[in-house]
Amino acid sequence: MESEADRHLNRLIQRLNDGDPEAANELFPLVLDDLRQRARRALRRHPRNHTLQPTALLNEAYLKLVERSKLSVRDRGHFIEIASKAMEWILIDHARSKNRKKRTPIELDSLVDYYETHSIDILDLHQALEEMAGTLPVLARVVRMRYFGGADERTIAETLGISTRTVQRHWHAAREWLQVKMSQ
């Protein structure tokens, strides 16, 4: 059963979809804490010496989202997916601009068990995800939402319209695919 808060959120999303610029200003505070936690989780996977802070990442993601003239969002989960993608691009842009010649390693933590103790470059990961998206788009969406957006299995399942068990299977398959790809 949908709560009053969920109904209010859905009304704001509909207004956002209809092009109401004030809807983004009202929507952002409602998802701020959730997005701030996701930004913190995303940045934990990066070297401690990076200069991007969670608040800056979150603010840049928000600006990217509201800059779009018409943002088509289905629901909260889809909004989180879009915000995850925005945070991914910000992190990629940050890595590119800061390290034109020097690549920045990141820890993949739980993404690929093999790489828990090995460093991998965020730009290499991004390139691998782009390749995955070309052939296995659902797996790439799962990785992006979980890795860059910090979404849990339930949120991913709701957003993609699949079961949490299917999300788990996709996550396992994506980890294996990335392990093979990143070790080449």
Residue 120 DSSP symbol:
E
Task: Say how far apart CA 107 and CA 126 lie, in whole Å.
Answer: 14
Task: Check: CB of residue 154 under 8 Å from CB of residue 123.
Answer: no
pLDDT of residue 180: 83
Task: Check: CB of residue 143 under 8 Å from CB of residue 125.
Answer: no
SS3 106: strand
Instruction: Indicate if the pLDDT at residue 23 is higher than 60.
Output: yes
The pLDDT mean for the chain works out to 77
pLDDT of residue 141: 92
Global pTM? 0.59
Residue of 80, 59, 93 whose CA lies nearest to 148: 80
pLDDT of residue 57: 78
pLDDT of residue 97: 74
Average pLDDT over residues 28-37: 79
pLDDT of residue 135: 92
Average pLDDT over residues 149-177: 90
Angle between helices 153-160 and 164-182 (to 10 degrees): 100
User: What would the pLDDT profile of 53-101 be if each residue is shown by its tens digit?
Assistant: 777 777 787 777 766 656 677 777 787 788 888 888 887 777 777 655 4
